[in-house]
């Protein structure tokens, strides 16, 4: 995965040029009242105190980040060059860390849960400069800069309303899953980082090429593009400065070691402007925590949440529960044949300029038949709106797509129409200060469900949405019937399987990580059982959940099954003494056991300290 960022401002320093500095953003408050990170559907009536952390970790998140550093230092001139650039641009470091203060507590917490090095919490500085809606020429988006295909592989939904690559919580989880997969492949964090930037296949080929030549296979020894060559040194330079800022003459803005936000479930569609108002926030500040909602609507769905500052979540829920007006004022509309933008604007009672602004259309833009537009919600008998206070999620008016319409980009229809899944792709990205908007390409579609009959269309992520490609009306039909696409796009998921299941049939939305997690496997085990080289799956694929009997690879399978034993081999307990620098993650990798089993075997396990003794259950041949 080669990701060339839109501006070098999204990285610390390019090999041949200096990066552009991002425009100043509002400073983030340096304190928030203590509260746990949680999902809330109703306000808290009382708040339990947060357990104080020990010593220096109590107040300073930077100290906590330093304590979790695990990567081997990289002593190279490239690192020193990056350090020098940062020292010459102290305002840049101040801006990116201020932006990152909203997200760092959550990222560090999630890395610690997986036993991963906290250096990775600094990676969004290199990837996106902590701009949550950053967008690159390679169509990578969000804090972690996922390209569409990789985002889909790691379970990040991308529709006309929502882009999971820009979801702070979902994308962080996906990035950590990706790191875990890459580490299981290379066992070297420098190669993990190179793979995250260049693609694991490219790094594997570079390693193999050096191995065949009898050369070293570490990061410094590999031949790679300049962007990847400077990628790891940028992170290492940041690590060195954060490790000892005083030695570099840098003063890091303090970040409280407590949550900045909580996740809230509004359980209804709601305008982002209204949500911000109920949370007593500006729309701009609301968007910094919720950049995944790419239209001015929080499109509600079971697995979607909004993020709110800790001190605003309860008041938001209280105000929302008593709000007695409609919470949704926008809908998607598919233009009709012969209809102009002026016609659409008149029909929905807005000016032509406002319609173009809402849909990011230039002044000379024309509308194509079936083109998807954002318009005000029009209440009528045909488009009822449920009251905002009702328990059922309010549905907006449907998008009506007339079958039989001619569309220039449509391919020749089949002689016999067949149902096709409706798909939607990521929308146009907003322009951030000092960045030039690029025209992104169409991204991998995500499935949604229609109300009446399915049709196939693609919404391209460019300044003008692509036209709808409708299924042609059969000749026997005397009257064309409408096809509707509602805001609440839902994908049916199978019921959770029992842990004793031996096979799983992949359905739309499944990923290797979600399946492995569901059945208590590691991703590497799932790939090994099915002889897969990558986690990419397709709907209808049947996966083995246990090692196939008689497999030639059975003797080489990972020692840990989801039950903690390898096949029928007897398990023996072993005591391991923790050394300096050890983490649950590194110990699990060293002994080829699942990290979850380490926690199960050591129920009272806390933060590891040198000299601690932990129990391991290994096979008799281990």
CA 311 to chain centre: 25
Among the listed residues 203, 235, 152, 244, the one whose alpha carbon sits nearest the alpha carbon of residue 446: 152
130-145 b/e with 16+ CB inside 10 Å = b?
bbbbbbbebbbbbbbb
* Token pair recorded at residue 240: 């060195």
Spatial separation of the C-alpha atoms in residues 106 and 389, rounded to whole Å: 31
First to last CA, the chain: 36
The strand pair at 571-577 and 613-619 is best described as antiparallel
Q: How far is CA 186 from CA 31, 192, 207, 208, 218, in A?
A: 39, 7, 10, 12, 10
What lies within 8 Å, CB to CB, of 230 at 6+ separation is: 11, 13, 14, 15, 78, 82
How many beta carbons lie within 10 A of that of residue 428, not counting itself?
A: 21
CA atoms within 13 A on the CB side of 568: 1
Q: Which of 98, 127, 200, 489 is catalytic?
A: 127
E strand or H helix at 195, and its extent?
helix 189-198
* Token pair recorded at residue 230: 């400077």
C-alpha radius of gyration, the chain, whole number: 26
Residue with tokens 């009242």: 33
* Token pair recorded at residue 124: 């969004």
Spatial separation of the C-alpha atoms in residues 509 and 507, rounded to whole Å: 6
Give the 3-state DSSP-derived string for 362-386, with helices as H, strands as E and coil as C. CCCCCCCCCCEEEEECCCCCCCCCC
Spatial separation of the C-alpha atoms in residues 413 and 295, rounded to whole Å: 32
Contacts of the segment 121-126: beta carbons below 8 A, 24+ positions apart: 121/65, 122/65, 122/235, 122/238, 122/239, 122/242, 123/175, 123/193, 123/196, 123/235, 124/100, 125/12, 125/96, 125/97, 125/100, 125/238, 126/11, 126/12, 126/231, 126/234, 126/235, 126/238
* Token pair recorded at residue 528: 């090994």
Looking at the chain, how many residues does it have?
622
Task: Decide if 433 contacts 22 (C-beta within 8 A).
Answer: yes
Tell me, yes or no, if 381 is annotated catalytic: no
Task: Decide if 276 contacts 286 (C-beta within 8 A).
Answer: yes
Spatial separation of the C-alpha atoms in residues 48 and 50, rounded to whole Å: 6
Spatial separation of the C-alpha atoms in residues 141 and 133, rounded to whole Å: 6
What lies within 8 Å, CB to CB, of 553 at 6+ separation is: 528, 531, 547
Phi and psi at 330, nearest 5°, equal: -130, 155
Catalytic residues: 127
């Amino acid at each position: 995965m080669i990701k060339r960022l839109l501006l070098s401002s999204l990285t610390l320093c390019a090999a041949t040029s200096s990066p552009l500095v991002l425009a100043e953003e509002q400073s983030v408050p340096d304190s928030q009242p203590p509260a746990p990170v949680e999902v809330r559907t109703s306000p808290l009536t009382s708040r339990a105190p947060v357990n104080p952390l020990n010593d220096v970790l109590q107040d300073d998140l930077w100290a906590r980040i330093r304590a979790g550093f695990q990567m081997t230092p990289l002593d190279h001139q490239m690192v020193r060059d990056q350090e020098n650039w940062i020292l010459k641009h102290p305002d840049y470091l101040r801006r990116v860390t201020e932006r990152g203060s909203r997200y760092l507590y959550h990222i560090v917490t999630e890395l610690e849960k997986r036993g991963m090095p906290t250096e990775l919490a600094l990676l969004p500085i290199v990837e996106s400069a902590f701009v949550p809606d950053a967008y690159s020429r390679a169509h990578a988006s969000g804090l972690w800069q996922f390209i569409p295909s990789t985002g889909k592989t790691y379970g990040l939904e991308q529709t006309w309303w929502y882009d999971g690559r820009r979801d702070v919580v979902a994308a962080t989880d996906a990035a950590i899953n990706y790191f875990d997969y890459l580490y299981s492949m290379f066992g070297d964090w420098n190669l993990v980082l190179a793979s995250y930037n260049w693609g694991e296949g490219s790094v594997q080929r570079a390693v193999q090429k050096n191995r065949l030549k009898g050369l070293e296979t570490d990061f410094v020894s590999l031949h790679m593009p300049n962007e990847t060559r400077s990628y790891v040194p940028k992170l290492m330079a940041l690590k060195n400065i954060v490790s000892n800022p005083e030695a570099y003459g840098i003063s890091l803005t303090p970040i409280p070691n407590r949550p900045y936000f909580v996740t809230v479930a509004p359980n209804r569609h709601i305008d982002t402007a209204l949500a911000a108002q109920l949370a007593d926030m500006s729309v701009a500040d609301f968007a910094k925590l919720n950049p995944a909602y790419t239209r001015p609507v929080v499109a509600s769905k079971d697995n979607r949440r909004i993020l709110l500052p800790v001190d605003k979540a309860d008041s938001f829920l209280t105000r929302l529960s008593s709000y007695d007006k409609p919470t949704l004022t926008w809908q998607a509309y598919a233009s009709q044949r012969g209809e102009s933008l002026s016609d659409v604007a008149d029909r929905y009672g807005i000016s032509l300029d406002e319609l173009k602004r809402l849909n990011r259309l230039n002044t000379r833009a024309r509308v194509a038949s079936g083109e998807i537009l954002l318009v005000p919600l029009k209440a009528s008998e045909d488009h009822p709106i449920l009251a905002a206070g009702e328990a059922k999620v309010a549905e907006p008016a449907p998008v009506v797509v007339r079958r039989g319409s001619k569309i220039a980009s449509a391919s020749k229809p089949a002689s016999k129409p067949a149902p096709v899944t409706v798909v939607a792709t990521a929308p146009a990205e907003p322009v951030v200060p000092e960045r030039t908007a690029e025209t992104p390409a169409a991204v991998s579609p995500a499935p949604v469900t229609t109300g009446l009959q399915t049709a196939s269309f693609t919404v391209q992520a460019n300044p003008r949405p692509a036209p709808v490609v409708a299924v042609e009306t059969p000749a026997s039909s005397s009257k064309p019937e409408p096809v509707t696409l509602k805001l609440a796009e839902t994908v049916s998921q199978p019921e959770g399987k029992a842990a004793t299941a031996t096979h799983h049939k992949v359905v739309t939305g499944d990923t290797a990580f979600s399946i492995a997690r569901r059945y208590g496997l590691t991703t590497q085990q799932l790939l090994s059982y099915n002889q897969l080289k990558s986690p990419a799956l397709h709907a209808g694929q049947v996966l083995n959940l246990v090692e196939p009997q008689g497999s030639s690879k059975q003797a080489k399978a990972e020692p840990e099954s989801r039950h903690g034993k390898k096949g029928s081999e007897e398990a023996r307990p072993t005591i391991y003494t923790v050394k300096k620098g050890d983490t649950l993650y590194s110990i699990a990798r060293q002994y080829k056991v699942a990290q979850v089993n380490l926690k199960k075997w050591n129920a009272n396990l806390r933060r590891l300290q040198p000299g601690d003794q932990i129990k391991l259950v290994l096979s008799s041949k281990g």
